[in-house]
Amino acid sequence: MKVRITVGMSGGVDSSVTALLLKRAGHEVSGFFMLNWEDDGPEPGCHADADRRDALAVCAKLGIPFRSANFAAEYRERVFAHFLDEYRAGRTPNPDVLCNREIKFGTFLAAARADGAEKIATGHYARNESVDGHWRLLRARDHSKDQTYFLHMLDQDQLGAALFPLGGLHKTDVRRMADDTGLPVAAKKDSTGICFIGERDFRAFLSTYLPAQRGELRRPDGRALGEHQGAMFYTPGQRSGLRIGGRTGGSGEPWYVVGKDVAANVVYVDQGHESPWLQSRELSAAGTHWIAGDPPAASFDCAAMTRYRQPPQACHVEVEGARCIVRFDVTQRAVAPGQSVVFYAGEECLGGAVIERTDAPQIGGAT
């Protein structure tokens, strides 16, 4: 059946092949480019103008209509403001999760529907299906590219409106299709990181919005080791950017961030990838969202990811309203408050929540 579909075009190869596949399937396809960020400073991080031109060139190649819209105000209000609030609180947020819920499957979906679209499509590596009138979110066939971690906050309406044509493909297949068709973005490098930061130094960018003060780097026992650039910039398990190198009397192993006290502006570090200060078996999380609308049960076993591209880890979940307690079968390393814990039953993504704290050993007032 021919369906009117609007494809969210990023100017990259994934969304371009998404449009190609839907056009080949005989649907009425149009392309839509979202401008989600406008820079205030003289050194822009996003390549929005170039990406828009690439998206337009792909639509011209495919012979489909193209339009664009500026969602920068909505992005700043619904995503970026939360991003800054989380860093102020000493947590490590993941803006892609909110961007998907609020912008790509929120503002964009509304705009596409207003223009007469029956469905929207994106280049995400994920799958969805309807079973007995309920929509399920499933992992991509290519687990190395699976993006359900970032889509776990979608609801039934959003998931039912979405198409994910790349869910059954591998990235090598997508590149080959783009090249065989002569798409102008066939060899374009995949974007990485957060769009609004782009190629810029993360700390330099964040400090323009959240002025930071230098403070002490300390061992867990309180001994000072050096100076940090601002406690909000560091996250558990971080190795780079510490600038402390070897120390007399140390083990010779690399140093890692193992905690921080934002109020006191102190960052704690320890040596060794398996530092005991980074190990936890339990976490508490808030803002729990279930794709089906309700949890499978008040208490259940499943698997969970606490960061993107981590293999799902066996765990037990206790649901307490909008909060939950997660106990893992094996010790987890460097679980970071502010990140998402996302739940899976086999291939199905059940939903997730935002990590508040773990049972890792506490250092003074560190979190």
SS3 181: helix
Torsion 215-221-225-228 (CA) sign: negative
Q: Which residue is listed with tokens 């369906």?
A: 3
Q: What is the spatial distance between Cα 347 and Cα 231, in angstroms, rounded to a whole number? A: 38
> Do 215 and 227 touch, CB atoms closer than 8 A?
yes
Given 46, 59, 99, 315, the catalytic residue? 99
**Do 180 and 16 contact (CB within 8 A), yes or no?**
no
159-171 b/e (C-beta count within 10 Å ≥ 16 → b) = bebbbbbbbebeb
Q: What element of type H or E holds 51?
A: helix 48-62
3-state DSSP assignment of residue 105:
helix
HSE-CB at 269 with a 13 A cutoff on CA atoms is 28
Distance CA 48, CA 22 (A): 24
Report whether 66 contacts 60 (CB < 8 A).
yes
Look at residue 12 and give its three-state secondary structure.
Answer: coil
Distances (CA, A) of 212 to 208, 222, 296, 346: 9, 22, 43, 43
Q: Active-site residue 195, yes or no?
A: yes
**Marked catalytic residue, from 46, 59, 195, 315:** 195
- Beta-strand ranges (E) seen in the chain are 4-8, 28-35, 66-70, 119-121, 126-131, 134-139, 162-163, 215-218, 224-228, 255-261, 266-271, 279-290, 299-305, 313-320, 323-333, 340-345, 348-358
Catalogue the active-site residues: 99, 195
